[in-house]
Amino acid sequence: MSRAYNFSPGPAALPEPVLRQAQEEMLEWGKTRSSVMEVSHRGKEFMALAEQSKRDLRELMAIPDHYKVLFLQGGATTHFALLPMNFARGGSADYVVTGAWGEKAAREAKPACAVRIAASSESDRYFRIPERAGWDLDPNAAYVHITPNETIGGVEFHDEPDVGAVPLFADMSSNILSRPIDVSKYGVIYAGAQKNIGASGLVLVIVREDLLARCPADLPQILNYAAHAKEGSLLNTPNTFGWYLAALVFQWLKREGGMAAIGARNAAKAKLLYDYIDGSGFYSNPIDKAVRSRMNVPFVLRDAALDEPFLKEAAAAGLLALKGHRAVGGMRASIYNAMPLEGVQALVDFMQDFARRHG
């Protein structure tokens, strides 16, 4: 076998025990004598998996009872459009833009509601998060939208911003389940699955129940969060294999010690890499240290002419997918939950050796 350390931003590395379990159960899942992909989503076995997965997620994230957990589809991008349709129609929503994904979320909301950019760090090339005191929030906004972790730029909110009585909506696609968070500070948390949850296509939506009363009744049911909540995410055929993988990941997270243990491990991984970059004199990361992402670590080499050799040699050393996003260039190491500390250490060792040979 030649599985390598995969630093892909998404779809990203999955925990090996999860992949192995899925492999073992591929042909016969439980007592069904079928693959999990071949059974009814309304059958008792799948319904039991769905319920268990919700219980596990609620336990992991300490989700209060007055929140609904939905397993939907369409990638996070679909929900950029659905959130304003459901919660802000005819009104306005505030967006705090700290990178490319926040920009896209705001752009996709425009057909459904008035969009106000309450704050943006675009003029600082998204290297920081605008000071909360300077945000121009509208107390009548339907919600305030943030992107807690910007996957491309590598900027992360390390705390929930206080936005008063207006519900806070968060695209946690790239940092959900990476550390303990206080769910009660949010109105909606949503996340595409392909980083810390499982397979692309599946989208997790955690929504405060009272907000569902705002979903317009004349929306097509399939676009309506209240309808999905009423049907327990089984309004139509869900992404059953994606849901199954997510359920395995939640159980793996519990076995690994839950969010406190995972958060500590992720903090240690990020510190190892940033400390090395900062002290190297060969690599650099431009992000304000207070808001550096613990999941996506962009960095540049002293000489961009070395980018291609770096990527080639890294791949040969079993360190994959380190090329930065085309919008920012350089490198990016995505170190989600499934990346072990040993993988980050292997990357640092390689970077050290490369710098010694080319510095």
Which residues contact ligand PLP by CB under 6 A? Answer: 10, 75-77, 101, 147, 151, 171, 173-174, 192, 200
Measuring CA to CA, which residue among 346, 89, 50 is closest to residue 216? 89
Active-site residue, selected from the candidate residues 56, 171, 243, 323: 171
Q: Considering beta carbons, is residue 10 or 130 the nearer one to ligand PLP? A: 10
Q: Across-strand partners of 344?
A: none
Query: Is residue 136 among the annotated active site residues?
Result: no
What is the rounded CA–CA span in Å between residue 254 and residue 90? 42
What is the rounded CA–CA span in Å between residue 307 and residue 330? 7
Measuring CA to CA, which residue among 318, 276, 352 is closest to residue 3? 318
Q: Which residues contact 260 (CB under 8 A, 6 or more apart)?
A: 180
CB of 31 to ligand PLP, least distance (A): 33
Alpha-helical (H) ranges within the chain are 16-24, 44-61, 75-87, 100-109, 225-230, 240-255, 258-280, 307-316, 341-358
Q: Considering beta carbons, is residue 46 or 157 the nearer one to ligand PLP? A: 157
Query: Is residue 101 among the annotated active site residues?
Result: yes
CB of 147 to ligand PLP, least distance (A): 5
- Closest residue to ligand PLP in the complex (CB): 75
CB of 241 to ligand PLP, least distance (A): 16
DSSP H or E stretch at residue 35: none
What is the rounded CA–CA span in Å between residue 135 and residue 140? 14
Measuring CA to CA, which residue among 75, 100, 202 is closest to residue 150? 100
Q: Within 10 Å of residue 199's Cβ, how many Cβ atoms?
A: 18
Query: Is residue 162 among the annotated active site residues?
Result: no
> What would the DSSP string read from start to end of 185-202?
G-SEEEEESTTTTSSTT-
CB of 297 to ligand PLP, least distance (A): 14
Q: Considering beta carbons, is residue 76 or 212 the nearer one to ligand PLP? A: 76
Report whether 113 contacts 93 (CB < 8 A).
Answer: yes
Active-site residue, selected from the candidate residues 195, 243, 269, 323: 195
Question: 112 in helix, strand or coil?
Answer: coil
> What would the DSSP string read from start to end of 268-296?
HHHHHHHHHHHHHSSEE--S-GGGB-SSE
CB of 351 to ligand PLP, least distance (A): 24
Q: Considering beta carbons, is residue 152 or 229 the nearer one to ligand PLP? A: 152
CB of 126 to ligand PLP, least distance (A): 13
Report whether 31 contacts 25 (CB < 8 A).
Answer: no
Q: Considering beta carbons, is residue 152 or 262 the nearer one to ligand PLP? A: 152
CB of 82 to ligand PLP, least distance (A): 12
DSSP H or E stretch at residue 152: none
Active-site residue, selected from the candidate residues 29, 101, 269, 323: 101
What is the rounded CA–CA span in Å between residue 226 and residue 220? 11
DSSP class of 148: S
Kindly list the catalytic residues: 101, 171, 195
